[in-house]
Amino acid sequence: MSDSGEFKRDATYIPDRITQDARKPEHGPVEGDLWPVEPGRYRLVAARACPWANRAIIVRGLLGLEDVISMGLCGPTHDDRSWTFDLDPGGRDPVLGYERLQQAYFQRFPDYERGITVPAVVDVRSRGVVTNDYPWITHDLFHEWRDFHRPDAPNLWPDDLREEMDEVMERVYTEVNNGVYRCGFASSQRAYDAAYDRLFTALDWLEERLADRRYLMGDAITEADVRLFTTLARFDAVYHGHFKCNRNKLTEMPVLWAYARDLFQTPGFGDTIDFDQIKTHYYVVHTTINPTQVVPKGPDPSGWLTPHGRERLQRH
């Protein structure tokens, strides 16, 4: 948190990468260790409540990597120490044997001082964390694990759109994905007002961009859509009220609402969303915002399954 009350996200993560033959990757930073792609060696630890982890769950499923990279799911709440495996029998991850994700971090870094975040990739062999650098986790699931993708896996990173897509995703991240948090955790009126204006300026831009194209980059789903979807899916359930992002609801933005429903109804997207876990996480964990920890019953999620009409924008 800055002196002016503006929320500042700690964006320092474990910088290790998993690549083919532990080679130097073509894109992105190489500041940590390189690990080899190896089926069965790694476990993705995620939580359905978390939008950043939700990305990794979606991409793993879209690419068909379920039998190559196992997945452990934490419950929707955590304390100051760590996310916990309270959804599993006995409260322990069945592969790692841990009660807390913190144990995987400490297994590799006994003095680890930063937040214990999801998603995290854990080396099953050593039971130590490999990386929690979520933007590069999903990037590398596509680029480095291609030999294990299902035959009809979508091209989430088209080469000819890479430059434009990077720009779109950067704006989506700064103004929308992180923008809702800047609203929710602002500790001054001035910081909140500025964050609110930035967020809805970006949502208006997206409403216009998606008016004549089915997906963010055109006719096919890309990583950019995955990144935007996880915030839109939580907007009315959490961000509108809990984070005071209340100029309007998602359901009151006709283009974005139709676009979000289109993705929700696409296999690999809506089936990763658990609205009860999402609401429980935000309303129970964020006690400074919601000290009563009362979780709202609404909104009614049935609207997500109504016709969206976005097929008409598809160009063949």
pLDDT digits (tens, 9 = 90+) for 221-273: 999 999 999 999 999 999 999 999 999 999 999 999 999 999 999 999 999 99
Whether 209 and 129 share a structural domain: no
Q: Is residue 12 part of a domain?
A: no
Q: Do 141 and 191 fall within a single domain?
A: no
Same domain, 135 and 240: no
- pTM for the full model? 0.97
Res. 1: pLDDT tops 80? no
| Full domain range(s) for residue 96 | 17-148
Q: pLDDT digit string (tens) for 158-168?
A: 999 999 999 99
Rg (CA), the chain: 19
Question: pLDDT at position 29, please?
Answer: 84
Residue 7 domain-assigned (yes or no): no
Last residue of a domain, one of 109, 129, 148: 148
181 labelled catalytic? yes
The tally of CA atoms less than 13 A away on the side-chain side of residue 41 is 13
Q: What is the mean pLDDT of residues 212-219?
A: 97
At residue 2 the predicted structure's pLDDT band, cuts being 50, 70 and 90, is: low
Output the domain CATH number for residue 110: 3.40.30.10
Choose between 262 and 79: higher pLDDT.
262
Does residue 226 sit in the same domain as residue 144? no
Q: In terms of domains, do 121 and 254 share one?
A: no
The catalytic residue among 13, 42, 50, 215 is 50
Section 199-220 average pLDDT: 98
* Mean pLDDT across 265-290: 98
Q: Is 192 a catalytic residue?
A: no
pLDDT tops 60 at residue 55:
yes
Greatest CA separation for the chain: 55
What is the chain's mean pLDDT, rounded?
A: 96
Which of 181, 192, 215, 283 is catalytic? The answer is 181
Pull the structure tokens for residue 70.
């196992």
Model pLDDT, residue 3:
63
What residues are paired with 73 via a beta bridge?
A: 46
Q: pLDDT value at position 316? A: 60
